[in-house]
Amino acid sequence: MSAVMVKVRFIQTVLALYLLLASAISHAVNNPDQITVYFPAFQGPEHLGLNVSTVLSLQLAQTTRRMPWPNNPDKHDFGEGIIRWSAEPLDSYAVQGLVEAAQRKNLLAQIVVAGTVRRFAGNFVVELDVVLPEYKVAPSMNCASLADTKCDYRTKNFEVWKIGTGSEKIEVGLPKRYFSISSIVLKPDVVNRYKAASGLTIRESLNGGKVLGETGDRLRFVEFNKSMPGAPTKVISGNIQGYVTLPELSDAVSEFSDMVGGILQLFRGDWQWAISSFTQVLENPNTRIPLRVDALLYRGMARFQNGGNGLDDITTAASLAPYDVTVTKYLAMALIANGINSDQIKQMLHDKALLFARDDDWYNKVHRYLNHLL
């Protein structure tokens, strides 16, 4: 082996150790931004759509935390996770309609969950779509010169995976900005209970008690008790404060709260809980291949961001979707983060070159980055 090759391999080994150790150093996550999930009114018979969306929003709310508890030695602060919804139907439930609704100045939601409750073969089935509207990359403060790109006024983008600094920096964003969740077949008792009821029942105590009223258009979450039967949640709706329990909507386990919860955690920099959520998605037998691929990419990226190594996850995603350009980008990022030989990464990208446009900016930037390492 020549002295030059020995030197190159030594540099690459040192770089790999540096990248992994640098990410492993405990840094407090401080998210100064609010991340908002928007539930427009679900389409469905009578009050059923609104009540189902309320139950799902409560499920999702329980995936959030401001900081680790009871121990938080690294002083993490994941910021505000806000869930908002509307009792009024939208003009359009097409993807663009959902994006436009989310990007209203008085909302600026990063995640949209839309649903339709339909009768099918004697059952009521919930079909869910998730949209992740695109905003100007943080710091998103002035969009006057970018008429086609909305601002959400965030100062950080935890959902963007970056390697390097300054001009020598490469990054990848979200795998997809639109996807569907497996249909949820509602239990008959849920249909009977919520089709006519105008809201979820609010009771006075953690274990039940007197009925105080029902949830309305405005709802604030005060306290979660996930380990108790029915996961009673303390809420404030209008001038009523009390507890709402979460019914089991379906006999089958949906990947909804794990997948959307994981994305919400990722937006807020809560890597540990995001890894756990995407693991639940991957262990769910109902999860379809496209969503499984996304969960692998998300979990792999979160593992890198948390100081671990997500190469196995991203390599598995690449085996499931070998001709997906986004998966290829993630694979390149993972190989770089592991300090894999630059020539090997270039060869991988060369083999996938047909997936990219001839003058693709990201493809060229990665090659410049790899050349800079040598």
Whether the pLDDT of residue 167 is over 80: the answer is no
Lowest average pLDDT, out of 15-29, 74-88, 153-167, 322-336, goes to 15-29
10 or 171: whose pLDDT is higher? 171
In the chain, pLDDT over 70 holds for what percent of residues?
Answer: 90
Whether the pLDDT of residue 26 is over 50: the answer is no
Q: 3-class SS at 11?
A: helix
- Extract long-range pairs of 227-233: CB within 8 Å, 24+ residues apart: 231/58, 231/62, 232/206, 232/207, 233/58, 233/61, 233/62
Whether the pLDDT of residue 190 is over 50: the answer is yes
Q: Identify the pLDDT of residue 19.
A: 47
**Token output for 32:** 């100064």
Q: Identify the pLDDT of residue 160.
A: 95
**CB neighbourhood size of 96 (10 A):** 9
**Token output for 199:** 């809201």
71 or 287: whose pLDDT is higher? 287
Q: For residue 166, what pLDDT band results from cuts at 50, 70 and 90?
A: low
Q: Identify the pLDDT of residue 78.
A: 87
Q: For residue 148, what pLDDT band results from cuts at 50, 70 and 90?
A: low
Nearest 5°: phi and psi at 135? -125, 165
Whether the pLDDT of residue 329 is over 90: the answer is yes
Whether the pLDDT of residue 372 is over 90: the answer is no
Q: How far apart are CA 12 and CA 79, in angstroms?
A: 37
Mean pLDDT for the stretch of residues 121-148 = 83
Mean pLDDT for the stretch of residues 172-201 = 92
Q: Identify the pLDDT of residue 145.
A: 59
Q: 3-class SS at 244?
A: strand
Q: 3-class SS at 178?
A: strand
